[in-house]
Structure 1
Amino acid sequence: MNDEPAENISGGTAGGGAFDEFDPNDAGSRAERVVDRLGELYWQKTYGGRDAFECLVRTILSQNTSDKASQPAHDALMERYGGSEAPRASERSSGERSEPRDDVDLAAALADASQDDLAETISSAGLYNQKSKTLIRLAERIVDEYGGEDGFDEFVTVAEPAAVRETLLDMKGVGPKTADCVLLFAGGRGGVFPVDTHVHRIARRLGVAPADADHEAVREHLERDVPAEKCGFGHTAMIQFGREYCTARKPACLEDPEACPMADLCDQVGVYPETGEVVDPAEAPEAAESTGD
């Protein structure tokens, strides 16, 4: 079993939560069997413990870019606005919530930030003008409504998950994936399966969600069919699987059907090794026959 990468939204072993082991026997659905296999291949972990506002910031920075690009932006932002004593994710002990940053409130600091200065600070993340405006607007709202990052963190970890998600989605610039990441990595809420481009592609390609499902429909199928305690590592491990094996244009099975560790569980919707063709599952001829059950 591999170690979870530190340079991603979850933060690896230092990003909160704790590694665990789950019994893969008697899976109740093919989606659960998929997640169990991913857990054996990568990691099995329950999440939670990240500071909610920093998690929101980190997820905004990760939008439409890679971890390689967004991680330096996050580190630069924390160094400039989080205070000189702000612990980085790589310095936090596993399973522990971040310690206060010497009375520096990140939300208040960003609410007062110059948009030009913030944009320059996070430039490596791409779309930095748009993201800097979004971060300042979110910070202002969180300071106004929750008094700062501590009040927001309490809301995310204590309030009903549905209420938290609804509130987050009401914030301009926060989409379903971002809201779900905050619920999972900060709130530690079970049964939350964030859907990014990797998860959206792979769930439909495997056939555990309908080929024509949008992101929200994929989330609904996965959260329905995967036990709550397995959704967190199912999300992060599926992303890693998408990066290593089931890439958008050249999945491993194209060259060698046995190269993919999920081959016996996959419907290969939209993937045709005999011709080398790969299409979006929704455009596959067999899409009408894929039920996601």
Structure 2
Amino acid sequence: MLSKQKTTEVIAEMGELFPNAHCELIHENPFELLVAVMLSAQCTDKLVNRVTENLFEKYKKPTDYLEVTLEELMDDIRSIGLYRNKAKNIQATAKIIHEQYNDEVPESMKALVSLPGVGQKTANVVMSVAFDYPAIAVDTHVERVSKRLGICRYKDNVKEVEITLQKKIPQELWSVSHHRMIFFGRYFCTARSPKCPECPFLSFCREGKKQAKARGFDG
């Protein structure tokens, strides 16, 4: 397991590899971000951005989602995986935000996770990106990178990964670390065919050592 100091050094190195790491979901306000993150579950940001380009032209505020039938909203997001449940949750969330929060996304983790279809990861992204609150959202990239590099244990669940990252990374770096780890996982340490021979962390990466042995390069 990597120490706090080594973990912080790794995050800094990722920052050199990806100095412009940021949220790639295109949005103009907290509500659009919330919808985009809800749509992104088990789906790529690239596909979500293609869908929301038209979606956010049609729906400008929470009440807009309430003025159409569920079937119409489903049709608008049909190319997204799990679109039926996501459409239901978006409408239900829009209703709550309109009726209870005056059409404003609540700036509270407790309030966010109480919304239909909004889990810890989604709430962390919204709190961090929309409201500049220190948070680490553990998606598939963050989880994979954390475990491969030995920051966390392979047997850790998502919540345990989040807690470990919070312990090992200074709070002021939580949000930027989240984006750096996503970029590193999305564009370098990919699930399949990671760029192990070029990786600065190869010497202590669990996956890298396996890849080195299998592919015949120095690990």
The Cα shift of 1:218 comes to 0.7
Matched, 1:37 2:38: no
Matched, 1:167 2:111: yes
Matched, 1:67 2:67: no
Over 3 Å counting, the alpha-carbon distance change for 1:57 and 1:170 in structure 2 is same
The Cα shift of 1:186 comes to 0.7
TM-score of the aligned structures, taking structure 1 as reference length:
0.66
Tell me which residue corresponds to 1:90: none
The Cα shift of 1:78 comes to 0.6
Deviations 1:65-123 (A, max 9, x none): 111211111111111111xxxxxxxxxxxxxxxxxxxxxxx111112322111112122
The percentage of aligned residue pairs carrying the same residue is 31
Specify the code of the residue in structure 1 equivalent to 2:157. D
Given that 2:202 and 2:208 are in contact with CA atoms closer than 8 Å, whether structure 1 keeps it comes out as no
Specify the code of the residue in structure 2 equivalent to 1:32. T
Given that 1:177 and 1:195 are in contact with CA atoms closer than 8 Å, whether structure 2 keeps it comes out as yes
Count of residue pairs the alignment pairs up: 209
Write the distance in 1 (CA, Å) between the matches of 2:209 and 2:88: 40
Tell me which residue corresponds to 2:190: 247
Specify the code of the residue in structure 1 equivalent to 2:180. A
Tell me which residue corresponds to 1:80: 58
Q: How does 1:149-228 map to 2 (within 5 A)?
A: 149=104, 152=105, 155-156=106-107, 164-190=108-134, 192-228=135-171
Write the distance in 1 (CA, Å) between the matches of 2:28 and 2:132: 9
Tell me which residue corresponds to 2:206: 268
Q: Which moved more, 1:57-66 or 1:111-120?
A: 111-120
Structure 2 unpaired stretches of 5+: none
Instruction: Give secondary structure in 1 for the equivalent of 2:19.
Output: coil
Structure 1 unpaired stretches of 5+: 1-26, 83-105, 157-163, 277-293
Tell me which residue corresponds to 1:116: 71
Given that 1:204 and 1:269 are in contact with CA atoms closer than 8 Å, whether structure 2 keeps it comes out as no
Given that 1:42 and 1:237 are in contact with CA atoms closer than 8 Å, whether structure 2 keeps it comes out as yes
Given that 1:77 and 1:118 are in contact with CA atoms closer than 8 Å, whether structure 2 keeps it comes out as no
Tell me which residue corresponds to 2:85: 130
Over 3 Å counting, the alpha-carbon distance change for 1:67 and 1:45 in structure 2 is closer
Deviations 1:221-257 (A, max 9, x none): 111211222222211121111122211132222xx3x
Given that 2:90 and 2:116 are in contact with CA atoms closer than 8 Å, whether structure 1 keeps it comes out as no
Specify the code of the residue in structure 1 equivalent to 2:34. L
Choose from 229, 233, 238 the match for 2:181: 238
Instruction: Give secondary structure in 2 for the equivalent of 1:123.
Output: coil
TM-score of the aligned structures, taking structure 2 as reference length:
0.87
Given that 1:44 and 1:233 are in contact with CA atoms closer than 8 Å, whether structure 2 keeps it comes out as no
Instruction: Give secondary structure in 2 for the equivalent of 1:193.
Output: coil
Over 3 Å counting, the alpha-carbon distance change for 1:167 and 1:229 in structure 2 is same
